[in-house]
Structure 1
Amino acid sequence: MQKRVSLDEIQLARAFAIIAVLVVHSSSSGVTSIPTDSLLFPVYNFLNIAGKLGTPTFILLSSFVLFYNYYPKKTGAQLIKNFYIKRLKYILIPYFVFSCMYFVLKWYFYYDYPSIGFAIEKFLYLFALGKAHPHLYFVFISVQLYLMFPFFMLLFKKFAFLRKHSWWIGIALQWLWVYLNKEYFHITLKGSISFSYFSFYFVGAFLGMYYDTIREKMKDSFFRFKMLAFIFFTYGALVILYTGYMYLVRIGVYQDVSKHLPLVVNQYLGEFAWATHALFAGLSLFVLAHWANKRFSYNTKATFMEIGATSFGIYLIHPLFLMVMRKMVEGGSPIVYNGWQLFTFIAVSLISWAVVRLTQKTLQNNYWIIFGKLPPVPRFKKEMRTKTETTFSS
């Protein structure tokens, strides 16, 4: 079967997702540093919490691209072999490189390990859990999902029921894991375990397998109105719930509020607010990307397409520059401090993008060792409809 055309909409959605990641990480110091009674604290809280949609959206998009590209193909040993070779080359090797880099930097600046042997053991432990730096858990989760992908694809091809109902099966499996972990397993590093993201993975799989069918249905105005109203209304309600819940927790009020709530609500409210908010945020960005693909001007679209094309590299490198920027200005007057937070977001975003593209240009055929697979820098012509693939594509 001929290779399917990559979709501009996916690159746009990746761009929106990486911007959300940068907003969350840039606002994290403000949330922890400024007083909770400050007028700007609710703003920082909103940006920091509402923006926690980037990583789940990347998982949803990654799953979508995998099933969109691979599901129509005939599954065989060679296809699976090529799939794993590409993931090893473009995902695991950059993950190893950045795990080493962040571990060595933090070792130099923050830690004093007693011996080289101890440091190596510590690194291997952190590398195995995606913990060499906090943001690397996303790559660690992605590797777990890649390992399971051929198994799920074969299951979906063989059993129509699993395929047609995959979206709610994924949600059910994720919440089964949440319940079992809370009641029996008590694993504290659940954020590094792929089961915690099955709803995003399976919804992405469903969209990938039925994408052409869904697009046809969306041409019906009544069906489109129902779906979009449901997605955006639910997302709006969940944004209010999640940001409000975290605001009450951070200002120390939720403990008093929780006394009036049922036990089951207190046990699962935080998990429910995050998981459902992130899922509908991912769906909203998926829809928004389709709207943007039709409505953005050429220059605007070209800019976001470039951000999406380099999003994996930006994701890997940006914490390094964030660490540097935060060391430069750690306090000061409200105008200076808050202005620096905004400047940090802009500077880190631009520098990260520039380093990714400069590395590609400088190393040429070997840049993938650091940043995985990147499309070439597009030549922006008005007639051209840019088609790009990134490290998450097949």
Structure 2
Amino acid sequence: MTQPAQPERTHIPELQLVRALAILGVLTVHASATATITMKESAYYYFYNFINTVMRFGTPTFILLSSFVLFYSYYSRPLNGKLIAGFYKKRLLYILIPYVVFSAIYFAYVKDLTGVPIWSLESIGEFLSKLLMGEVYAHLYFVFISIQFYLLFPIVLWAAKRWKNLALWFVPLGFVLQWTFVLLNLHYWQLPNKGSWAPTYFSLFFLGATLGIYYPKIKGWLAMTRDNLNVGRAVLWLMVWGAWIGASAAHVTVWYNARLYGTNYPAELYEILWNAQSVLAALVLLHSAFFIYRHLPAGLSAMLYRLGQLSFGIYLVHLLYQAWFERLLPAPTSASALHLYYLASWAIMLAASWLTVSLISRFVPFAWILFGKVPAAQKLQRSGAKAPVPAGKRTVAG
């Protein structure tokens, strides 16, 4: 592969569909998590273990996608102080502030449940400590990871622009750095919150960077149509899909045996299977999004597109609705009723979060403080057609 060309970087609507699929994965994992404990005596336990394991592509895909968009958007632009200042201003306003606000909301909710005073010096110190480590609530570690990547991004971007062929080595470099960290942690450091540190996801970050930099040259490999389909591309994607199915099946089996029978496996096996499944799943979702964009009925594609636009806000708020649901409606004792209970939890998280982010972002001033920059709803643009852009709004870059 030669040095990447630098044409004008245009909007990629398919990326919103990837975001939609990723957030559905996140909701499914959280809705099924309790079932992997409570349903062990059920004949449906394999199903719950299956969906809980296979659907773990949400957070890894968001990391790859964030890296993709950053490098796609910034690689062809002059790297100077103005660019870096603008980059960090946007992340401060639309990522860091919502993170702090929702960290405070979740912290206050937990303290209210336990009856512990929120404004005591001890509670404030606890909040600040957890805030700095992304540990205020279960899912907020993802934003903490993203912040680490934002700090790293200008350095990696500078290196990619300084040495033009360096991006060709980003994928192997990401795996080497990640596995150096993983093995050191397994055998020496043993960090209790290893998954909250950026090196855990370097393979995804650097793969996303490569895809973003070279996207104009590799677009035809992602968006396969009758016009650009050939044997090489078909074989490649059959291998990717086959490898993802194989890695996912092995990962499901390992977790099933460990959860149900207490089987002990080496920690390295969990790491290998998770890494393989997450990287391959992110690629499969990218490939699927390009197919969905062209072939799914327009109404369903438009719904997924809007879900992708709202995904960051939904990610932040959805566990509040799950917590309220479980608090107001305790789990039933009947095994058959539990299936409906877990399905209802998933549906309420999705519907209530979607409605909340949509209404607040549209009607409440300064809604970005809660949910970041939410694009205005607009008609999904299909290939060969121009979508109208609401007045005063510009199309978001992926």
Tell whether the 8 Å contact from 2:99 to 2:143 is kept in structure 1 after alignment: yes
Deviates further, 161-170 or 138-147 = 161-170
CA positional deviation for 1:183: 2.0
Structure-1-length-normalised TM-score: 0.92
Structure 1's 384 and 324: CA in aligned 2 closer, same or farther, altered over 3 A? farther
What percentage of residue pairs aligned between the two structures are identical?
Answer: 33
AA paired with 2:101?
V
Secondary structure of the corresponding residue to residue 362 of structure 2: helix
The residue number in structure 2 matching 1:309 is 309
Q: Cα distance 1:381–1:88, how it changes in 2: closer, same or farther (>3 A)? A: closer
Partner of 2:188 in structure 1?
A: 184
Give the letter aligned to residue 305 of structure 2: M
* 1:143 paired residue number: 147
Residue type of the alignment partner of 1:336: A
TM-superposed deviation, 1:113: 5.8
What letter is aligned with 1:15? A
Cα contact 2:7–2:216 (8 A) shared by 1 = no
1:109 maps to a residue whose letter is: L
Q: Decide whether the 8 Å contact of 1:53 with 1:281 is kept in 2.
A: yes
Give the aligned residue type for 1:289.
Answer: A
1:14 partner letter: R
- Corresponding letter in the other structure for 1:283: L
Matching of residue 318 in structure 1 with residue 322 in structure 2: no
Please say if residues 374 and 390 of structure 1, whose CA atoms lie closer than 8 Å, have aligned partners that are also in contact: no
> Which residue number in structure 2 is paired with residue 25 of structure 1?
30
Aligned residues of 1:21 and 1:51 also touching (Cα < 8 A): yes
SS of match in other structure, 2:33: helix
Query: Aligned partners of 1:58 and 1:381: how far apart in 2?
Result: 22
| Other-structure match for 1:278 | 278
SS of the counterpart of 1:165? helix
Q: Which residue does 1:95 correspond to in 2? A: 99
Q: What is the CA–CA distance in structure 1 between the aligned matches of 2:161 and 2:254, rounded to whole Å?
A: 41
What is residue 201 of structure 1 aligned with on the other side?
Answer: 205
Aligned-pair Cα RMSD in Å: 2.3
1:110-130 per-position Cα deviation (integer Å, ceiling 9, x unaligned): 263697000000000110010
Q: Aligned with 1:310: secondary structure? A: helix
Unpaired runs of at least 5, structure 1: 259-265
Counterpart-to-counterpart distance in 1, 2:375 and 2:119: 42
TM-score (norm 2): 0.91
SS in 2 for 1:251: helix
**Aligned counterpart, 2:254:** 245
Identify the residue that residue 337 of structure 2 maps to in structure 1. 336
Q: What is the Cα deviation at residue 40 of structure 1?
A: 1.2
Partner of 2:3: none
Distance in 2 (CA, whole Å) between partners of 1:160 and 1:71 is 11
1:162-241 equivalence runs, <5 A: 162-216=166-220, 219-241=228-250
Q: Tell me the alpha carbon deviations over residues 42-94 of structure 1, each in whole angstroms, 9 at most, x when there is no partner.
A: 11111111111100000000000000110011111100110000000000000
Deviation at 1:353, TM superposition (A): 0.3
Q: Do 1:170 and 1:201's aligned partners in 2 also have CA atoms closer than 8 Å?
A: yes
Matched letter for residue 302 of structure 2? A
**Correspondence for 2:375:** 375
Alignment match, 1:263: none
Specify the alignment match of 1:262 in structure 2: none
Preserved CA contact (<8 Å) 1:103 1:133: yes
Counterpart residue type for residue 369 of structure 1? I
Q: Deviations over 1:338-375 (max 9, x none)?
A: 111112211210110000011112214x0000000000
Aligned pairs, number = 383
Q: Counterpart of 1:341 in 2: which secondary structure?
A: helix
Task: For 2:197 and 2:374, locate their aligned partners in 1 and report how far apart those are by CA, in whole Å.
Answer: 27
Counterparts in 2 of 1:331 and 1:392: CA distance versus 1, 3 Å: farther
2:53 equivalent to 1:49: yes
After superposition, the Cα gap between the structure-2 partners of 1:29 and 1:369, relative to the gap in structure 1 and judged at 3 Å, is same
Cα distance change on mapping 1:44 and 1:362 into 2, 3 Å: same
What one-letter code is carried by the residue in structure 1 that aligns with 2:37? Answer: T
Offset from partner CA, 1:203-261 (integer Å, 9 cap, x none): 00000001111124563512211220121011000110111100011012423xx5xxx
Partner SS for 2:261:
coil
Deviation at 1:141, TM superposition (A): 0.2
Match of 2:113?
A: 109
AA aligned to 1:25 is H
For 1:313 and 1:188, locate their aligned partners in 2 and report how far apart those are by CA, in whole Å.
28
Other-structure match for 1:254: 263
Is residue 2:130 matched to residue 1:121? Answer: no
The answer to whether 1:345 aligns with 2:356 is no
Aligned to 2:139, what secondary structure does the other structure show? Answer: helix
- Using the TM superposition, give the Cα deviation of residue 184 of structure 1 relative to its aligned residue in structure 2, in angstroms: 2.1
CA contact (8 A) 1:20 1:52 kept: yes
Counterpart AA for 2:141? Y
CA distance in 1, matches of 2:14, 2:135: 31
Measure, in 2, the Cα distance between the counterparts of 1:138 and 1:249.
26
**Equivalent pair of 2:317/2:353 in contact (CA under 8 Å):** yes
Unaligned runs of 5+ in 2: 1-5
Aligned CA distance change for structure 1 residues 163 and 102 (closer, same or farther; 3 Å)? same
Please report how far the alpha carbon of residue 298 of structure 1 lies from its aligned counterpart in structure 2 after TM superposition: 1.1
* Corresponding letter in the other structure for 2:23: I
Question: Matched residue of 2:376: which SS?
Answer: coil
Q: Which amino acid aligns with 1:242?
A: H
CA distance in 1, matches of 2:65, 2:395: 12
Higher-helix-fraction structure: 1
